[in-house]
A = this chain, B = another copy of it.
Amino acid sequence: MKNVTSLKFVDEALIDLTTEFGWVDVAGASAGTACAGIKSTDRDDVVVLVAPGTAAAVTTQSTAAAAPCVWTRNRVPGPIHAVVVNAGNANASTGEAGRRDVESMAEYVAEHLGCGKNEVLVCSTGVIGVPLPMAKVKVGIERACDGIGATTEDVAQAILTTDLVTKVAAAYGGGARIAGFAKGSGMIHPNMATMLGFLVTDAAVEPVALQQLLEDVTTRTFNAVSVDGDTSTNDTLIIQATGHGPILTKNSPEWQEFAQALYSVCRELARAIARDGEGASHIITVELEGLASDEAARHAARAVCRSPLVKTAIAGGDLNWGRIVGALGAAQVPGLDTLDLDVAGIPVLRRGSPIPFDEALAASALSKEEIVVRCRLPGVGVGIAWGSDLTEGYIRINADYRS
């Protein structure tokens, strides 16, 4: 039985990642962190990322977008000096007071760094609906600005909430460096729920081109991750371009390689988020070939990643592939009576009819950390999505999160 393996993903053009440098090692970039004691006093929870140049950003599509997201999206693409981030409080659903607090955060940073408040982007993550403790935040910002010189690991650590591990990635591309780090593990779904990501490059890129590139890459990476189906109020992905390196435009011969390097970095961070799904024991990769467009294929792949029944079956090591078909059907995917389906390398459906499989082989295949689901349907689209499985650990973490 031939496996479903003819998929032609953009992944074929992946650029190798490097560990030679991190976010703070890109020319023109530096960072500081501090403990403001927003949620607890035993960890840093404020980060200031300094990288004067241009910036682009993608923020949540939620209609309950937090005040910092609204502030940030109104200032990109454009000239940006720094980004301030706090963990422990999302400054979401905080009304007019929350909007004033965002502006104050930008002002504090601007005062300390000697730039304009409109050159400062703001990100927050944490509990919703609680006013920011601004006296603490102010002290944290002051300390972070005074302590510029933090390592990439320091800043990647300071933005975490329920994450188990830090997430960093870097690559060379088009003669430039690109580095990034991210947080996210729960509430992750298409559109980057409670996901924060920070990228920097030494390339000089015109703001509008940088914004378009970031949006395109986000669609295929961070927005293809699903942990639990909710989209957060605070998702933000920012790229800062310092201009210390090569000047790149869409017409540069190096542009495509630069774009691929950015894709590779974002893909790695997105997969790290899926792998770190709260309480997750498996990463689920769904590759779908077929349907009318890449967008339709991605939508279908995400629907599988999002299904709680698929997630729990995989957590239980159970090759209950009917739930994958059920998830595709619930997502209104057409043509399922011709579906070819492989799970963890095991062919289970050909043209919509079940293929007998060996239960012992299936149990062994499902014990691997990464479970690849491959679907083939008529059509020209190609889509990929990543998610985590759903374990009892997820429930424990989320039932107790706020308290």
Contact surface of A with B, Cβ cutoff 8 Å: 60-65, 90, 92-97, 127-131, 186-187, 189, 191, 193, 228-233, 306-309, 312-313, 315-316, 318-323, 325-330, 332-337, 348-349, 351-354, 390-392, 394-396, 398-403
Contact = CB atoms under 8 A, between A and B. Distances in A.
Contacts of A231: 326, 329-330
A175 B169 CA distance: 71
Contacts of A336: 63-64, 93
Given A131-B354, A308-B228, A325 B92 contact: yes
A323 B193 contact: no
A395 B394 contact: yes
Contacts of A402: 313, 318-320
29 contacts: A60-B329, A62-B332, A63-B329, A63-B332, A64-B325, A64-B329, A64-B336, A93-B322, A93-B336, A93-B349, A94-B353, A94-B354, A127-B322, A128-B325, A129-B325, A129-B354, A186-B309, A229-B229, A232-B326, A308-B398, A309-B398, A312-B395, A312-B398, A316-B403, A318-B400, A318-B402, A318-B403, A319-B402, A391-B395
A90 B308 CA distance: 19
Contacts of A232: 326, 330
A322 B128 contact: yes
Q: Can you tell how many copies of this chain the complex includes? A: 2
A306 to B, nearest CB: 7
B93 A309 contact: no
B129 A349 contact: yes
Given A395-B394, A402-B313, A93 B330 contact: no
A152 to B, nearest CB: 30
Nearest to A363: B403
Contacts of A315: 395, 399
Contacts of A352: 93, 95
A249 to B, nearest CB: 35
A364 B330 CA distance: 37
A134 to B, nearest CB: 15
A322 B93 CA distance: 7
A228 B308 CA distance: 7
Query: Which one of A92, A94, A325, A335 has the highest number of Cβ atoms from chain B below 10 Å of its Cβ?
Result: A325
Given A230-B330, A398-B313, A402-B318, A95 B337 contact: yes
Contacts of A90: 322
A319 to B, nearest CB: 8
Q: Which 5 A-B pairs give the minimum distances between C-beta atoms? A: A128-B322, A64-B329, A316-B399, A62-B329, A95-B353
B229 A97 contact: no
B398 A127 contact: no
Nearest to A186: B309
